[in-house]
Amino acid sequence: MKIVLCLPFRPYLAALLMALLVVLPAAGRTAGFEELVERLPHGSYADRAKVIDAISRTGDPRAAEVLNALLEGRLHARKDDGRIVILVDSAGGATAIDALSGENLGGVLAGSTEKIKTNNRLRGMLRTAIGALSLMSPDRETRLMAAQSVFASGDPANIEALDAALAAESDRQVATALAEARAVAILDTDAPVEEKRAAVAILRARGDAAAQAALAPHASDPAIGNEVREALSRIEQAQRVWAIAQNVWYGLSLGSVLMLAAIGLAITFGVMGVINMAHGELVMLGAYTTFAVQEAIRGAAPWLFDWSLLIAAPLAVLVAGSVGIAIERGIVRHLYGRPLETLLATWGVSLILQQAVRTIFGPNNREVGNPSWMSGAFEIGQMTVTWSRLWILIFALAVFFALLLVLRRSFFGLQMRAVTQNRPMAAEMGIDTGRIDALTFGLGAGIAGLAGVALSQIDNVSPNLGQSYIVDSFMVVVFGGAGNLWGAFAGAFGLGITNKLLEPWTGAVLGKILMLVFIILFIQKRPRGLFALRGRAAEA
Amino acid sequence: MKRRQFLKGSVAASAFLAAPALVRAQTAPIKVGILHSLSGTMAISETTLKDVMLMLIEQQNRAGGLLGRPLEAVVVDPASDWPLFAEKARELIEKDQVAAVFGCWTSVSRKSVLPVFKELNNLLFYPVQYEGEESERNVFYTGAAPNQQAIPAVDYLMSEDGGGVERWVLAGTDYVYPRTTNKILEAYLKSRGVAPEDIMINYTPFGHSDWQTIVSDIKAFGSAGKKTAVVSTINGDANVPFYKELANQGISAEDIPVVAFSVGEEELAGLDTAPLVGHLAAWNYFMSVDTPENADFIAKWHAFIGDESRVTNDPMEAHYIGFNMWVKAVEKAGTTDPDAVIDAIVGVSVPNLTGGFSTMMPNRHITKPVLVGEIQENGQFSVVWETPGLVVGDAWSDYLPDSAKLISDWRAPMSCGNFNVELGRCGGA
């Protein structure tokens, strides 16, 4: 206004002011941005929230980078002069880049800078702010992520940016995400009822939990309440159907874990009739082998990390298998036909193994990382499938069929079946029964070790790992019917799926109790389990 | 000459012979019992506490011992076996004649040794956060009571900084600590105006490892359009698969934060913490607290254990405080006699590691600051909130109708752990 008033007086001044008029807003904006960034390290989280909000409104081209660094914890303040720097990892440690000028300030010593802290609330804000700033990014993935984080915030302030982005968007998936983000934001404004109805329809089409969360607060809105309630009930209905599919998937996944844990026991207990209480500890040894392999890889060859499980698998078979053979040769073979003594002796072995691992590796949990191909999840419709669980299921099936092949098709399998079915006759035929016993026990133990490799991905790697699986393993083998691999297969998946279908109704504790009651009743009725052996083998 | 020499010699000799007996009475070591599981399921948490006690005793000895006598640690292993705790406690007190015992982790182990300490009149220093609802003459609770951990944590999450949480999942392992804590929290949340349908309570068995269903339930519960948080009293090993499942199903701390009361630096040491950044824990101490006392403690711990990568945690600080309180009380009483120390210790104040002082209150609990920290990539916590002052441990929760009317004061003339103010007599509800 002042400028307009000045204009008639001095033409040259007017020219100067015109020049200023062009420069000023930009200059003012820049100064504001710089001042705001300098203010970031100071004050409480609430103050920082205001500053972040202000920074995102400056429209400064550097804003996205600074906010992103703050989100990732790379924005630091130098302790000596308070300069705000962005730390970038480089070959010889971290390098500092001036957050404002972009000037490279060289390497930084650890402890010479202080991280500008964020909390959950600030990180949520930052993600939205960065999202709004990167809606026009040339990279498709970035735009998609941006649309999703704007969706999560539902902030009406972003509608303008969303409209602009929608107009420019050519990719269909991104455009849908943008429209959904816009729909959430519209619901919180005074937009006309028609527009809000359209927004409800868009969210109804999306139909997932996030859409539900966005719609739920508007269920009692006088203008669009009916539509919202209808959309919510539709979404809930669809989710109920998906929930059943999800539970069956969880059941399959639990079943695969149970089968992995039990399949080694199906050989030692099921086929050989040895009650091996140290079975769980053999699983634990497999898990610790994975840990040791990963440690070695971290130290020597980090690029191999994604292959660590494949390297660990044969080693785990070797470690657990040889411990198994040692147990058989040292203890179990002297106790054949004396199940009670075997039980006590192997239980003693389990305690020894536990304490040995505790002494060597310490009592604490050990960190076993997930390779990149086993991290995260993907969605099928409204169902989440985690990669680690999927791979474990595939792995369990692979182990099962490989074992089946060994028993049915290989010469060793033939000898093994001969020895377990009729020991004196097998010995007469020239089979070294002692050697076959040791190898069979070793095979069962080695497979327990393989199970340990897989279980290290979803459970704790601690000396207690084995204890949590021993009861479940016996449960599966007894339920499925001793002496039959298919019994273990059916037992594991049957128990897994039943357990997971029960759990939503009864809770985890009661679910487990009900399972055990069910098994007790079942065993009363069919003492030999699901797949009882018939004929002469059953008499043995 | 000869006779004199002989006399001198014999005097010297008799003095020399008599001295050890005299000296022994004055310098016989004071025995301190350490009752922590070194094998079995609880070894994961308790072994460290045994080590920190050995370190504290060694330091005290280097500083001249106590009452001019050296301290001697007597370590026993109750092997995570609850009845064995009582046996070992009896052994420590009767056979080894210890002056005080530092030990126990789980509430059930504490309950199992209680009668022994009462019968044989000895002192137990209990360093772990617990469910409260107890105040015994012989037990000193140096860990947090629910009002020193659970309630401030919930207050933080309700605040604007904490995200203004309106919907709550109380998830716990199925035993006494989570059940009681959740009962207190439920009553507290309702008193703060949270509707019953906005509270979901879930219990799981010990060592639960398949969290798929529960995590997806939490996800569904959190999609009602209100900010949701999980308050976790999940114990021990079950935490690792729980957090892994949360990360796998893509639930980040910004969507649904989890605040845990049993997850500290030690538990995180076995985890890839990158996907957990932002999840919370409430304690009275974090290793990352920047005070000279703490830096000194960590340096000494690393030197003692000989491993720079070992972490410190809240129960370790509780033992640090408890041990120093006991030392001060013994000095004040001038004897290790349990009755004298029990009387002397009330009101004793010692520095804690977060830059303040903790005081033993007449209800056997101590004053502590409450800190809420967020998990960082490096497995440490960054403090995002703390109580403005110290919080006095409350033995009997104000939010449970039966215990609200109970108070505890072990000083004469009340000398009662559960005085009923309504009935005006000692003896509980």
Quickly list DSSP for A153-204.
H--GGGHHHHHHHHHH---HHHHHHHHHHHHHHHHTS---HHHHHHHHHHHH
What pLDDT does A8 receive? 44
Higher pLDDT, B348 or A219: B348
On the question of pLDDT at A105 being above 60, the answer is: yes
- The values of phi and psi at residue A62, to 5°, are -85, -10
Alpha-helical (H) ranges within B211-291 are 212-221, 239-248, 265-268
- The values of phi and psi at residue A110, to 5°, are -60, 135
- Give B26-144+291-368's CATH code, choosing from 3.20.20.150, 1.10.1270.20, 3.40.50.2300, 3.90.226.10: 3.40.50.2300
The whole-angstrom distance between A195's CA and the closest CA on chain B is 21
Q: Is A290 on the interface with B (CB under 8 A)?
A: no
Q: Is B222 on the interface with A (CB under 8 A)?
A: yes
Chain B residues near residue A354 by CB distance under 8 angstroms: 39
On the question of pLDDT at A6 being above 80, the answer is: no
The whole-angstrom distance between A500's CA and the closest CA on chain B is 7
Under the banding of pLDDT at 50, 70 and 90, the label for residue B63 is very high
Q: What is the pLDDT of residues A422-433, one digit of tens each?
A: 888 889 989 998
What pLDDT does B8 receive? 53
What pLDDT does A12 receive? 55
Tokens describing residue A225? 């309440």
Cβ atoms of A215 and A228 within 8 Å: the answer is: yes
**Which residue of A52, A89, A116, A119 is the best one to mutate when testing the B interface, meaning the one whose CB has the most B CBs within 10 A?**
A119
**Does the distance separating the beta carbons of A152 and B384 come in below 8 Å?**
no
B198 vs B196: CA distance, rounded Å? 5
Question: Which DSSP helix (H) or strand (E) runs through B381?
Answer: strand B381-386
Average pLDDT score over residue span B299-320? 94
Per-chain mean pLDDT for chain A: 85
**Strand pairing class (B406-409; B416-420):** antiparallel
Average pLDDT score over residue span B370-392? 92
What pLDDT does A23 receive? 45
A333: Cβ contacts below 8 Å, ≥ 6 apart? A434, A437, A438
On the question of pLDDT at B22 being above 60, the answer is: no
Q: What is the DSSP string of A231-267?
A: HHHHHHHHHHHHHHHHHHHHHHHHHHHHHHHHHHHII
DSSP E strand boundaries for B99-210: 100-103, 124-126, 139-141, 167-173, 199-204
Which B residues, 348 through 377, put their C-beta within 8 Å of a C-beta on chain A? 374, 376-377
- Selecting from A239, A358, A508 the residue whose C-beta is nearest the C-beta of B205 gives A508
Q: Looking at this predicted complex, what is its ipTM?
A: 0.78
What pLDDT does A72 receive? 86
On the question of pLDDT at A137 being above 70, the answer is: yes
**Which residue of A365, A382, A471, A514 is the best one to mutate when testing the B interface, meaning the one whose CB has the most B CBs within 10 A?**
A365
| Residue B277: closest C-alpha in chain A | A120
**Does the distance separating the beta carbons of B269 and A364 come in below 8 Å?**
yes
Neighbours of B194 (CB within 10 A): 18
- Burial class of residue A11 in the structure, from the number of CB atoms within 10 Å of its CB (0-12 exposed, 13-18 middle, 19+ buried): exposed
Which A residues, 449 through 488, put their C-beta within 8 Å of a C-beta on chain B? 458-464, 467-468
Q: Give the fold, CATH level 3, of B148-289+373-392.
A: Rossmann fold (3.40.50)
- Selecting from B209, B219, B254 the residue whose C-beta is nearest the C-beta of A120 gives B254
What architecture (CATH level 2) is domain A242-539? Orthogonal Bundle (1.10)
| Residue A248: closest C-alpha in chain B | B213
**Does the distance separating the beta carbons of B41 and A464 come in below 8 Å?**
yes
Cα dist from B183 to A459, B151, B354, whole Å? 29, 12, 30
Q: Is B225 on the interface with A (CB under 8 A)?
A: yes
Which B residues, 386 through 425, put their C-beta within 8 Å of a C-beta on chain A? none
Cβ atoms of B246 and B230 within 8 Å: the answer is: no
**Does the distance separating the beta carbons of B162 and A250 come in below 8 Å?**
no
Max avg pLDDT among A8-17, A156-165, A167-176, B186-195: B186-195
**Does the distance separating the beta carbons of A120 and B278 come in below 8 Å?**
yes
B168 vs A37: CA distance, rounded Å? 36
Listed range (A286-295, A346-355, B270-279) with the worst mean pLDDT: B270-279
What are the beta bridge partners of residue B368? B391
Q: What is the pLDDT of residues B310-365, one digit of tens each?
A: 999 999 999 999 999 999 999 999 999 999 999 999 999 999 999 999 999 999 99
| Residue A508: closest C-alpha in chain B | B204
Under the banding of pLDDT at 50, 70 and 90, the label for residue B6 is low
**Three-state SS at A386:** strand
B252 vs A311: CA distance, rounded Å? 31
Cβ atoms of B169 and B230 within 8 Å: the answer is: yes
Under the banding of pLDDT at 50, 70 and 90, the label for residue B118 is very high
| Residue A458: closest C-alpha in chain B | B241
On the question of pLDDT at B91 being above 90, the answer is: yes
Residue A340 CB-half CA count within 13 A: 0
**Does the distance separating the beta carbons of A377 and B249 come in below 8 Å?**
yes
What pLDDT does A21 receive? 47
| Residue B258: closest C-alpha in chain A | A120
Q: Is B201 on the interface with A (CB under 8 A)?
A: no
**Does the distance separating the beta carbons of B248 and A377 come in below 8 Å?**
yes
**Does the distance separating the beta carbons of B269 and A117 come in below 8 Å?**
no
What pLDDT does A538 receive? 47
Please state whether the peptide bond connecting residue A138 to the residue before it is cis, i.e. omega within 30 degrees of 0. no
On the question of pLDDT at A447 being above 50, the answer is: yes
| Among candidate residues A145, A144, A388, A417, the one with its CA nearest the CA of residue A271 | A417
B113 vs A145: CA distance, rounded Å? 56
Q: What is the pLDDT of residues A261-284, one digit of tens each?
A: 899 998 888 788 888 999 999 999
Chain B residues near residue A253 by CB distance under 8 angstroms: 210, 212
B327 vs B329: CA distance, rounded Å? 5
The whole-angstrom distance between A532's CA and the closest CA on chain B is 29
Chain A residues near residue B163 by CB distance under 8 angstroms: 120-121, 124
* pLDDT > 70: percent of chain A: 92
- For chains A and B, what is the number of CB pairs under 8 angstroms? 154
- Burial class of residue B242 in the structure, from the number of CB atoms within 10 Å of its CB (0-12 exposed, 13-18 middle, 19+ buried): buried
Under the banding of pLDDT at 50, 70 and 90, the label for residue A1 is very low
The whole-angstrom distance between B229's CA and the closest CA on chain A is 12
A366 vs A46: CA distance, rounded Å? 38
**Does the distance separating the beta carbons of A370 and B272 come in below 8 Å?**
yes
Higher pLDDT, A25 or A184: A184
Q: Is A117 on the interface with B (CB under 8 A)?
A: yes
Max avg pLDDT among A120-124, A152-156, A532-536, B353-357: B353-357
Tokens describing residue A203? 């969210």
Q: Is A261 on the interface with B (CB under 8 A)?
A: no
Q: Is A371 on the interface with B (CB under 8 A)?
A: no
On the question of pLDDT at A318 being above 50, the answer is: yes
| Among candidate residues B334, B356, B332, the one with its CA nearest the CA of residue B345 | B332
**Does the distance separating the beta carbons of A386 and B225 come in below 8 Å?**
no
- Selecting from A124, A365, A387 the residue whose C-beta is nearest the C-beta of B240 gives A365
Under the banding of pLDDT at 50, 70 and 90, the label for residue A539 is very low
Domain boundaries, chain A: 2-121, 134-223, 242-539
DSSP E strand boundaries for A359-509: 377-380, 383-386
Q: What is the pLDDT of residues B243-289, one digit of tens each?
A: 888 888 888 898 899 999 988 898 887 677 887 889 999 999 999 99
Q: What is the CA radius of gyration of chain B?
A: 24
Average pLDDT score over residue span A240-266? 91
DSSP E strand boundaries for B234-338: 258-260, 280-283
B126 vs B78: CA distance, rounded Å? 15
Tokens describing residue A87? 């730390």
Q: Is A148 on the interface with B (CB under 8 A)?
A: no
Which B residues, 8 through 37, put their C-beta within 8 Å of a C-beta on chain A? none
What pLDDT does B26 receive? 65
Average pLDDT score over residue span A96-107? 85
**Which residue of B212, B217, B312 is the best one to mutate when testing the A interface, meaning the one whose CB has the most A CBs within 10 A?**
B212
B154 vs B16: CA distance, rounded Å? 66
B234 vs A30: CA distance, rounded Å? 50
The whole-angstrom distance between A210's CA and the closest CA on chain B is 6
Listed range (A186-195, A287-296, B52-61) with the worst mean pLDDT: A186-195
* pLDDT > 70: percent of chain B: 93
Cβ atoms of A228 and A218 within 8 Å: the answer is: yes
Ramachandran quadrant class, A467 (left: phi over 0; alpha: psi -120 to 50; beta: rest): alpha
Chain B residues near residue A44 by CB distance under 8 angstroms: 161
**Does the distance separating the beta carbons of B207 and A468 come in below 8 Å?**
yes
On the question of pLDDT at A367 being above 90, the answer is: no
Cβ atoms of B315 and B143 within 8 Å: the answer is: yes
Which A residues, 499 through 538, put their C-beta within 8 Å of a C-beta on chain B? 500, 503-504, 507-509, 512
Chain B residues near residue A389 by CB distance under 8 angstroms: 212, 248
A279 vs A282: CA distance, rounded Å? 5
The whole-angstrom distance between A334's CA and the closest CA on chain B is 28
**Sign of the torsion formed by the C-alpha atoms of B310, B316, B321 and B322:** negative
**Does the distance separating the beta carbons of A46 and B161 come in below 8 Å?**
yes
Q: Is B296 on the interface with A (CB under 8 A)?
A: no
What pLDDT does A528 receive? 81
* pLDDT > 90: percent of chain A: 27
| Among candidate residues B235, B244, B154, the one with its CA nearest the CA of residue B191 | B154
C-alpha torsion angle, residues B130, B133, B137, B141 (rounded to 10)? 20
Average pLDDT score over residue span A163-182? 88
Chain B residues near residue A45 by CB distance under 8 angstroms: 161, 384
**Does the distance separating the beta carbons of B160 and A121 come in below 8 Å?**
yes
At CA B373, angle to CA B367 and CA B377, rounded to 5?
145
- Selecting from B219, B249, B382 the residue whose C-beta is nearest the C-beta of A117 gives B382
Listed range (A38-42, A105-109, A176-180) with the worst mean pLDDT: A105-109
What pLDDT does A402 receive? 94
**Does the distance separating the beta carbons of B225 and A212 come in below 8 Å?**
yes
A82 vs A41: CA distance, rounded Å? 9
Cβ atoms of A540 and A530 within 8 Å: the answer is: no
Q: What is the DSSP string of A63-106?
A: HHHHHHHHHTT-EEEETTT--EEEEEEETTEEEEEETTT--EEE
Average pLDDT score over residue span B58-67? 94
pTM summary value:
0.82
On the question of pLDDT at A64 being above 70, the answer is: yes
Higher pLDDT, A280 or A529: A280
| Among candidate residues A498, A526, A506, the one with its CA nearest the CA of residue A248 | A498
What pLDDT does B3 receive? 53
Higher pLDDT, A131 or A445: A445
Under the banding of pLDDT at 50, 70 and 90, the label for residue B111 is very high
The segment(s) of chain B belonging to CATH 3.40.50.2300 are 26-144+291-368, 148-289+373-392
Higher pLDDT, B21 or B197: B197
**Does the distance separating the beta carbons of B210 and A257 come in below 8 Å?**
yes
B26 vs B66: CA distance, rounded Å? 11
